[in-house]
Amino acid sequence: MDEQKREGFNFEKLLVYQKALDYVDFVYELTDKFPKSEIFGMTSQFNRAACSIPLNIGEGSGGTTAEFKNFIRISFRSLNECVVCSTIAKRRKYITEKQNDKSRKQLLEITRMLSGLRNSLGNK
């Protein structure tokens, strides 16, 4: 256990995992400014969807290739949910057009990286 703690876990070396964590930080910064009336609505939903992306990468990495691919699929679904959350937040004027664009840009980058990771796992 101590050795793993010092060296880290293999999934932590994945750039897509690191980018997903950066996105979580970005979303939390955005949702901190949402109206208090949204704490159990959009704030919670957006935060959970964003967290789900790296959580599923981490969880899936510990299993078989087929299991990992399934967790990547779930990460894609959470990513799509973040697109909708960002769009709703923009429409409700909780975030600016520029913030929405930044969100979408980050999500597109993560999408490409997740696709690459999934493809690198082959057809097993």
Report the CATH number that the domain containing residue 17 is assigned in CATH: 1.20.1440.60
**Residue 122, pLDDT score:** 87
Overall domain count for the chain: 1
Work out the average pLDDT over 9-25. 97
Task: Let me know if residue 74 belongs to a domain.
Answer: yes
With cut-offs at 50, 70 and 90, classify the pLDDT of residue 1: very low
Task: Let me know if residue 84 belongs to a domain.
Answer: yes
pLDDT over 80 (residue 97): yes
Give me the domain span that covers residue 24.
Answer: 12-120
Task: Let me know if residue 99 belongs to a domain.
Answer: yes
* Count of beta carbons in the 10 Å neighbourhood of residue 40: 9
Among the listed residues 94, 114, 97, 104, the one whose alpha carbon sits nearest the alpha carbon of residue 52? 114
Task: Let me know if residue 5 belongs to a domain.
Answer: no
pLDDT over 80 (residue 40): yes
With cut-offs at 50, 70 and 90, classify the pLDDT of residue 124: low
Q: Please tell me the pTM assigned to this model.
A: 0.92
